[in-house]
Chain A
Amino acid sequence: MKTPIYLSNPEEMLKVRLNQPRATSEQLRAQEERLRLAAERFSAAAKAATSGPGRKKSAA
């Protein structure tokens, strides 16, 4: 896993977005699938951690 970099300078943030390497169709498809699965895992974990609307399970 890469160490996260957090930019706060607006110009730098925009520059990063506009200077991404060109992707292949296969990379784009693979990324969509990867993010979809990551989002599903995230939601499943969140559901498992709640027992009702907004109520966290107490650590018994």
Chain B
Amino acid sequence: MRIATPDDRSRYWKVTHSGRSGFIVVCGDETGNQPELTGALPLEYLERLRLQNEILQDDIRLEGVAIQGEEILIVTSQPAIIGDEVSESEMRDYMGRLWFAPLHGLSLGRPGALAFYRDLDEVAAFDAHPGNFVKDGDGVVLPIDLILLRADAALQKAFAPHLR
């Protein structure tokens, strides 16, 4: 992902790498029925960003789509937030207050990253680590780049042992 800021510096602009659209978590026969991080398709990536807006009240905007060679580049923007890093307990508290339960022993994305699941709307959140949260100037904890998805039946089944 390439990141740039326009002159007014109120928003980050992000451009995916050619032919790559971030990551998603899948589960099925091909993964041995275990959750696995894999490259996302463009529409899966856009759905992930849509969930970030819907669930975490972000303001990610699709600015455009470009073609480079035969590959698609997705251009989005997101409000820039300047602040401090968060601690592990602050990430857990934040997610807990949104009714996300921790998925114990399941870490996908950066090593040690936390994972969560909210059964009321079957949304899972991955790659929670201090690089993907900010605590703004007033102390408000805000996630900025989690991997969010709606868990299908296979993923829900795979989560069960991690929801003890």
Contact between B85 and A35, CB atoms less than 8 A apart = yes
Which residues of B (137-163) have their CB < 8 Å from a CB of A?
137-142
Contact between B110 and A22, CB atoms less than 8 A apart = no
Residue pairs across A and B with CB atoms within 8 Å: the count is: 112
| B97 interface residue (CB < 8 Å to A) | yes
Which residues of B (107-149) have their CB < 8 Å from a CB of A?
107, 110-113, 129-132, 134-142
A interface size (C-beta, 8 A)? 38
Contact between A5 and B139, CB atoms less than 8 A apart = yes
Instruction: Give 1 or 0 for each of B54-93: 1 = CB within 8 Å of chain A CB.
Output: 0011110000000000000000000111111110101001
Q: How would you classify the secondary structure of chain B's contact residues: helix, strand, loop or mixed?
A: loop
| Interface residue ranges, A against B (CB under 8 Å) | 1-8, 10-11, 13-14, 16-18, 20-25, 27-28, 31-32, 34-36, 38-39, 41-43, 45-47, 49, 54
What band does the interface of chain B fall in when counting residues whose beta carbon is under 8 Å from A? 35 or more
Q: Which residues of B contact A25 (CB under 8 A)?
A: 5, 9
Known: A4-B141, A17-B57, A28-B82. 11 other contacts (CB 8 A): A4-B135, A4-B140, A8-B98, A13-B57, A16-B140, A20-B79, A22-B9, A28-B80, A31-B82, A31-B83, A39-B129
